[in-house]
Amino acid sequence: MKNFQLTKEERLCSKKLLTELFNNGSSFLFYPFRITWLINQTPQKYPAQIVISVPKRRFKKSVDRNLIKRRIKEAYRLQKATSLYPFLENQQKQVLVAFNYVGKEILDYQYLYEKLSLALLNLEKQMVK
């Protein structure tokens, strides 16, 4: 049975790793996300660690930002075990990923789910290059 949890260890909280990710990472735009990623050299328990951010500049109300983050987290949680993790385990890589929401409006869950699925495939292609 696949693990569909999103644990604390899978979330990127380390200030040092976050700084390294945003200073040295590669990024690409895949609407409604700007995805920044970096191959992690330090061994971790999980193949990927993520951070999700929604700009306060576009969404003034915290309930709106939290709603978008919850939807993205849920979409990622359901797809990581079927698409991203098997790829990373085959490549024997560990990655740090930041999902920055760049959309101007609150999008529904189904749209975010589909776009995140395509974004993860695009991330895999970027990592192979």
Give the tens place of pLDDT for each residue, 35-77: 999 999 888 999 999 999 999 999 999 999 999 999 999 999 9
Residue 10 within any structural domain of the chain: no
pTM (two decimals):
0.93
Cα torsion 46, 79, 111, 104 to 10°: value is 0
Could you tell me if residue 2 is inside a domain? no
Q: Is the pLDDT of residue 85 over 70?
A: yes
Instruction: State the distance between the two ends of the chain, measured CA to CA, in whole angstroms.
Output: 31
> Given this model, what pLDDT does residue 112 score?
98
In a domain, 24, yes or no: yes
Q: Is residue 76 part of a domain?
A: yes
pLDDT for res 29:
97
The domain spanning residue 100 has which CATH number?
Answer: 3.30.230.10
20: which residues sit within 8 A by CB, 6+ positions away?
38, 96
- Provide the CA 14 distance to its chain's centre, in angstroms: 15
Residue 22 belongs to a domain: yes
Looking at residue 36, its pLDDT comes to 98
pLDDT over threshold 70, residue 1: no
Domain count, the chain: 1
Whether 93 is in a domain gets the answer yes
Query: Domain containing 26: what range?
Result: 15-123
Using the predicted structure, report yes or no on whether residue 2 has a pLDDT greater than 80: no
Domain-embedded: residue 104: yes
**Given a cut of 80, is residue 116 above it in pLDDT?**
yes
- Residue 3 falls inside a structural domain: no
Residue 41 is predicted with a pLDDT of 87
